[in-house]
Amino acid sequence: MDALINVGQFLAATLVSAAIHFPLEITRSLLNFGVAPAARYARRQKARTIALEVARTRERLVYLIDEGQVLLARLRDADKDADACRSHTRAWTAQVEEFLSSDFGNVYVSRFQSRSIVDLGGIAGVPPERLSDWRDLRDAVSNLELFGSELHLA
C-alpha cells in the first residue's frame, strides 16, 4: 500500500513540477482536452442545421414545382376561369421569386424570370387566348426544375 501511495505522490509531484516549469504546455494540453469534444459537437450541430435547411429547401422547391404543374393544367383547361388562372399564376410567381431571393439570391430571380426564345407555335390542348400565359408559366416551371437539378435538390 505504501508503494501505491509513493507512486501517487510521485505522479502528483511530477505534475506540479511540470506545471511550474511548463505552464503554457500544461494549459494548452488541458484546454485541448476540453475543447476537442466541444468542437466536434459544434461541427455535428452545424452539419445537422445545414442538412435541415437543405431538406426544407428541397421540400419547398418540389412543392412550388408541383404547384406550377397544377397551374399549367388549369391554364390548359378551357372550362377554368382565365382571370382566376392568371391571378393564381401571378401569386405563384411572386411566391417563387420571394423564395428564390431569400434562399438563393437575386441572380436566381433573374434566371427564373428569363423566358425561352423558342416559339413552338400552338400547343395542343391550350386555348389560343391562354397560350402566351401558358408558355410563360411553362418556362418558369422549367427554370425551377433546372435549378433543382443544378443544386441537386429536386
pLDDT tens digit sequence for 43-86: 888 889 988 988 898 899 999 999 999 998 888 877 778 788 88
pLDDT at 94: 95
pLDDT at 32: 64
Instruction: Report the run of H or E that residue 42 belongs to, with start and end.
Output: helix 23-76
CA angle 58, 142, 105 (to 5 degrees): 55
Contact 92, 71 (CB under 8 A): yes
129: which DSSP letter?
Answer: G
Nearest to 111 by CA among 120, 126, 101: 101
pLDDT bracket for residue 92 (50, 70, 90): very high
Top pLDDT among 12 and 30 is at 12
Grid cell 437543405 — which residue? 54
How far is Cα 91 from Cα 85, in angstroms, rounded to an integer?
Answer: 10
Residues 100-145: tens digit of each pLDDT: 999 888 998 998 888 776 555 556 677 777 778 888 888 899 889 9
pLDDT bracket for residue 35 (50, 70, 90): low
Residue 8 has pLDDT above 80, yes or no: no
- Spatial neighbors of 57 by CB under 8 A, at least 6 apart, are 103, 153
pLDDT at 18: 58
Longest dimension (CA), the chain: 102
For the packed helices 23-76 and 2-21, what is the interaxial angle rounded to 10 degrees? 80
Taking residue 145's Cβ as centre, other Cβ atoms within 10 Å add up to: 16
